[in-house]
Chains A and B, each alone.
Chain A
Amino acid sequence: MSFRKSDNASAWSMLAPAFLLIGLFIVVPFALSVIFAFTDQRLVPNPNITTKFVGVRNFERLFDGDTFSNAFLRTATFVILVVPLQCAMGLGAAMLINTTLPVRNVFRGIYFLPTVISMVVVSVVWASLFQMEGFFNAALRAASFGLLEPVDWLANPWTAMPSLVLMSAWQGFPFQMVVYLAGLQGISKDLYEAARIDGATRWQEFRHITIPALRNTHILVVMTTTILAFKLFTQVQLLTQGGPRGVTDTLVRYIYMTGFREGKVGLAAAAAVLFFLLVFAISLVQRRLLKEERAIQ
């Protein structure tokens, strides 16, 4: 196909705004952070000391101290806890609303609400649920007939992370639900009927038809959820500020604190580059898995 010159010009003029915005806000900052990662750039430059190239010193410093590795381990813990929970909630909810009941759209709307609400609002609401006199302690008291002491959920090193996990899963699961719902609707009803004739129980139908048929959906959902979970920041910053005793510190919070509070932009950029490589690696794994599936098909 060939384009006339005027077509070309108008195509470029239509693409220009998008190119400009992506370049300005994504490509340039990304390139800058890669450059900064190898310098001792500070947030507020000292006019007397010029910024200079420092090689891989920033990276060495990341691994020397234990703040970065702590943040990495805590984030990984969060990911390991939240991904299975959130995906299971998404799949469960998707199966519940994947019906032909006339009220299904109402339920779809209700289940989708948490994701529409901003994480900031969710954090504020859940902060009150987690209070000493909040919902969770009331529920605990009622369930144990007053035997169990109330827990300071967000201040206790043992419960702070699980509390964040629960809240994050609740806020995020509708996204997984929608993707799973699309996957479920792609499964032919005939398969379930064939399985019923073969004598499968509901559990066996789930195990032998639903789960394998959702293979690609699982890969997509698990990978995207993992990447999203690694970006954990808002709820931590609002509810625990990384505490108690650093158990809820995260990679993004480390980058934020290092760069914008301590002003060590070079060091923060190095952490950001490592973070990028991590997410990039996960994406590669996902691509690889999906590709293999296509080869079989």
Chain B
Amino acid sequence: MAGLALKDVRKQYGKVEVIKGIDLDVADGEFVVFVGPSGCGKSTLLRMIAGLEEISSGTLSIGGRVVNDLSPKERGIAMVFQSYALYPHKTVYDNMAFGLQLAKAPTSEIDAKVKRAAGILHMEHLLDRKPSQLSGGQRQRVAIGRAIVRNPEVFLFDEPLSNLDAALRVTMRAELSKLHRDLGATMIYVTHDQVEAMTLADKIVVLEAGVVQQAGTPLQLYHNPQNRFVAGFIGSPKMNFIPVEIAEAGSGGVTVASADLARTLIPVAPDAAVAGAKAVLGIRPEHVTGGDRPVTFKGRVELVERLGHQTVVEVATAGGATVTALLDGTTLVRPGETLTLGFDPADAHLFGESGRAMERFHLPEIARMTRRTAA
């Protein structure tokens, strides 16, 4: 097992740069998830680590060894593909054994390793089947089994659950998490599903346009996003952004106001904020509740989505902002009504004109912990 270090890693296709200088350290045994919108470069970055895409510049080391010029096989990695990429004409056993067979490992060793991997994944009974005779979840297991047999230093997963149905995805997610605990291996996982990212990761790396926007524990990213992009990307429904103007900036926080909000003190470090500058207030839908909160505003209900345990309400304010609130599932509200909503300024985020977040004074204890101390 080994850690991983990327130093100023870049990828160019002709003149187009798709990975724009990534610096990242992955500790031994860490579960790192790359998330980001389509085309952000997360899969490309994973493929560069695998050795399936060349690294244009920068260095990639696995276990302290620079592997830029090594073939995928020599890097000590194993990869699980979104399509599973099982060899269709080989049995499950041979699919898992293929790498070892190519390396001319002794038959007894191959047999022991394949049986062990099959045991870990509870699929001893599937070894004689062909991939076409397996269900989606079973194919997924075989793909993971093939990775385990390679006994890699680093496991790479490229959106491995996106072809499964919702229920199976939840099961496999839990199994992957357990597998990570059992094997203690370093894993890098690409997904666009933030639930997978939040639940699996020790560390989430949010990528956009080939740049790391922020890397940190899931709760750091949730409670302390460093910019508007991360704030909007992590969390569902998406964080509300309300344009405001800074009325006053002091050591106690920044006072903002807008057409919809009276002057409100947001407890954040003012950085370079000056009175009169524009800013964006961020507040998560789950922090927007009824009118009994310190800050209130009114809006017309545009949309009501009832999820049973919760109700998603979208309101349009007089000032032109659209705010989503996550209310109790039994809230009586209809489209067209006027609703008073409110929030606690301590839950709010404030972003300067550049989109950078001002540091929040009040962070929950859990947002300061690493994953392991929190667990």
Q: Which residues of A contact B (CB under 8 A)?
A: 188, 190-191, 193-200, 204, 208-209, 212-213, 215, 296-297
Contacts and interface: CB of A to CB of B under 8 A. Distances in A.
B120 to A, nearest CB: 19
B98 A208 contact: yes
Given A197-B72, A204-B102, 15 more contacts: A190-B83, A191-B88, A193-B50, A193-B52, A193-B79, A194-B81, A194-B86, A194-B87, A196-B73, A197-B51, A197-B77, A198-B146, A212-B87, A212-B88, A213-B89
B88 A213 contact: yes
A194 B85 contact: yes
B3 interface: no
A196 B82 CA distance: 16
A199 B99 contact: yes
Contact of B73 (A191, A197, A208, A212): A197
Contacts of A198: 73, 98-99, 102, 146, 150
A12 B32 CA distance: 67
Interface of B: 50-52, 71-73, 77-79, 81-83, 85-90, 98-99, 102-103, 130, 132, 146, 150
Chain A CB within 10 Å — which of B83, B88, B103, B150 has the most?
A: B88
B88 A200 contact: no
Contacts of B77: 197
Chain B CB within 10 Å — which of A188, A195, A198, A297 has the most?
A: A198
B87 A208 contact: yes
Nearest to A209: B87
Closest CB pairs A-B (n = 10): A199-B73, A190-B85, A198-B99, A194-B85, A212-B89, A197-B72, A190-B81, A190-B83, A196-B72, A199-B102
A101 B28 CA distance: 40
A191 B52 CA distance: 12
Contact of A196 (B52, B87, B132, B150): B52
Which secondary structure dominates chain B's binding surface?
Answer: loop
Contacts of B72: 193, 196-197, 199
B43 to A, nearest CB: 12
Contacts of A191: 85, 87-88
Contacts of A296: 130, 132
B167 to A, nearest CB: 25
A254 to B, nearest CB: 42
16 contacts: A188-B85, A190-B82, A190-B85, A193-B72, A194-B81, A194-B87, A196-B52, A196-B72, A197-B52, A197-B79, A198-B73, A199-B71, A200-B102, A204-B102, A208-B87, A212-B89
B50 to A, nearest CB: 7
Contacts of B71: 196, 199
A125 B52 CA distance: 47
A188 B99 contact: no
Contacts of B83: 188, 190
Contacts of A208: 87, 90, 98
A91 to B, nearest CB: 17
A215 B98 CA distance: 20
Contacts of A199: 71-73, 99, 102-103
Nearest to A297: B132
B110 to A, nearest CB: 13
A191 B98 CA distance: 12
Nearest to A215: B89
Contact of A193 (B78, B85, B89, B132): B85
Contacts of A213: 88-89
Contacts of B88: 191, 212-213
B192 to A, nearest CB: 18
A208 B132 CA distance: 17
